[in-house]
Amino acid sequence: MCGIAGVFFHEARPDTADIIARMCAAIRHRGPDDAGQFVVESAGVGMRRLSIIDLANGQQPMFSPDKRYVIVYNGELYNYPEIQARLIAEGQTFATRSDTEVVLKAFLRYGEECLNLFNGMYAFAIYDQRRREFFLARDRLGVKPLYYSTLAGRGFAFASELKALLTVPGFDRAVDETALNQFFVFEYIPQPRSIYQAARKVPAAAWLRFSPADGVTTRVYWEIDIHAAEIRDPLEAEDHIRDLMRSAVRYRLVSDVPVGLFLSGGMDSSIIAAVMRDAMAPAKPLSFSIAFAQKSYDESPYAQLMADYLGLEHESSILSEDNIVSMIPEIYSGLDEPLADASVIPTFLVSQQARRFLKVALSGDGGDELFLGYDTYRAHQYRSFFQWMPPAVCQAVGNMLNVFPPSDKNLSWEFKAKKFFNAVKQPADIANVLWWGAYSYAGLGELFVSGARNFEEVFEPVLRLRDKLKGADVLKQISYLDVHLYLRDNLLPKVDRTSMANSLEVRNPFLDYRLAEYAFRLPSSWKLRRGIGKYILRRAYQHALPKQILARRKKGFDIPLTPWLRGRLRPLLRENLSRTVLEQNGRFNRGKIQTLIDEHCAGKRNHRQLLWPLLTYHLWQKKFG
């Protein structure tokens, strides 16, 4: 695991080596074990390394035998031994056991088609010194990040994180206003946009080529087939799911350093724990969880139950209102793009906890999106029953729910009911965004002094996928949207930034592309049955997990922000959303925000989901705006 960076300038610059050094210094946390860079004329690449595989010989940048090509690589290619064996059979030789060398030589042999062979999480760049071209690529599910900029026509730059691009001379920090509007609706910024006009994300499952003559070209090399023929035998499906998960976990245990596990006590991490324990026997995996004093948020008893059931060594840390105040500045000073998912905080803490013992941990991300675990999938089933209601009636019902006192509980019934009725009359894809997100389109118009940008711009990440979804059942459509938006652009960046801030590599067995493809061949009725999500997973692992785990409903990895924003976080909220701060920014409706703060702090309304994006945006602006 590494952080990578590179530049190309159309005009010669004597300071190119210094620029690469500054870019790499900005992402040192991604790889504290080693560093390297290569500069030729007006181009250069650099990296920071977290040593996981072939600790002695995996240094980068790495060169082709003729020195024409140079690679910097971030991630893990899980099936590199098979690809290496194939290349050896075709006459290639290898000097290391590193997957970096396999990626480079596979590219030399097969060109961009090599990506079709790869099973892993990765982002890499290869520079062709003869043609003066860069080739960049990201893994299929988008686990590893990669940003780029054309530097206002002056050249090309890329990096694992935006903060490295900010060190490039002349990088324009002007905010992308459409991306900002999308942030306040989605709570994250969907690819390919970034918070800056001058930077974009390399899309997941895509490659990018830059040449001085032709500029930037991108191509998608893999897509989930939402219309693939469905499996007909549920028992066969259960067997195949177990086989795929066993293979995915074994792949992700390949390491020259110890591997642990994030264990929440939910279905997904418990399945991984069970498979991992069997694969590592007689060794005992080390697992980690977060505890809360508030019972509606606390999953730690289930994590401990699962650890005891499997005989794991388990560590748990408590996240309280007292220690969150000191943690927030540390966490958000490292987030170089606004992200309003409050589970950033416990994810940072569990990563910090794990890093005291090891460098690699497995996580259960992806299971809910692939196997319909979220409450929103049930909401889409119920939605059809309310289509006969006039929109005004649905809105009135939503408004009537405001008479109930706001609850501090995690995903309380009145919170979910209000969200449901406020979006139930929208098309399914838009309703899904509004159920997940913060501001409605109307609310967005009230938030900004200038009003909202047009509807098509704000919801473009959803609208562009509509043609691909036609003909699929609604639950499969929403699952596809969640994989391509919520997972790729919220959950995975959250886990990457918080884990790498602690120099920890996190691997995700559910995001093995073979399992993702297979999941979309399963009928939705096998995943969500009689209101029970992940039904086929429960069936497949009914003999491997305790009944208490199998019977649990999805809880979600959230924190008690509602009471904390009225308590220890209240001064932080008022300081960062003060009249002076808002006047200096100039974008926001001060009166609207003051009303939100006053109502929330007085306990009249629960505005946690509207206030937290505002607070996190202004924390970002302080450091990176």
| Catalytic (active-site) positions | 2
Structure token digits, residue 354: 């794990």
As separate numbers, helices (DSSP H) first and strands (DSSP E) second, the chain gives 30, 17
Tell me the sheet residues that pair with 206: 220
Spatial CB neighbours of 51, under 8 Å, sequence gap ≥ 6: 33, 34, 58, 256, 257
Q: Which residues contact 48 (CB under 8 A, 6 or more apart)?
A: 2, 3, 24, 27, 28, 30, 31, 32, 34, 35
SS3 letters for 355-379?
HCCCCEEECCCCHHHHHCCCHHHHH
Q: Environment class of residue 301 by beta-carbon count within 10 Å: exposed (0-12), middle (13-18) or buried (19+)?
A: middle
The SS3 assignment for 130 reads: coil
Angle at the Cα of 475 from the Cα atoms of 472 and 478, rounded to 5 degrees: 90
Give φ, ψ of 316 to 5 degrees. -130, 140
Q: Which amino acid, residue 71?
A: I
d(CA 84, CA 105): 9
Strands 69-77 and 120-128: antiparallel
Rounded CA-CA distance 496/236 in Å is 34
Task: Give the helix/strand (H/E) hosting 34.
Answer: strand 34-40
**C-alpha to C-alpha distance for 568 and 550, rounded to whole angstroms:** 36
Q: Which amino acid is at 237?
A: A
The residue type at 290 = I
Angle at 309 between CA 303 and CA 311, to 5 degrees: 95
Residue with tokens 């730059």: 157
CA distance 111 to 595: 57
**Paired strand residues for 189:** none
Amino acid at 327: M
Q: Are strands 34-40 and 43-49 parallel, antiparallel or unpaired?
A: antiparallel
CA angle, 625 then 495 then 434, to 5°:
70
Helix axes 474-482, 375-383, angle to 10 degrees: 150
Is the separation of the CB atoms in 424 and 416 below 8 Å? no
CA distance 282 to 277: 8
- Going by C-alpha positions, the residue among 623, 613, 611, 624 that lies closest to residue 570 is 611
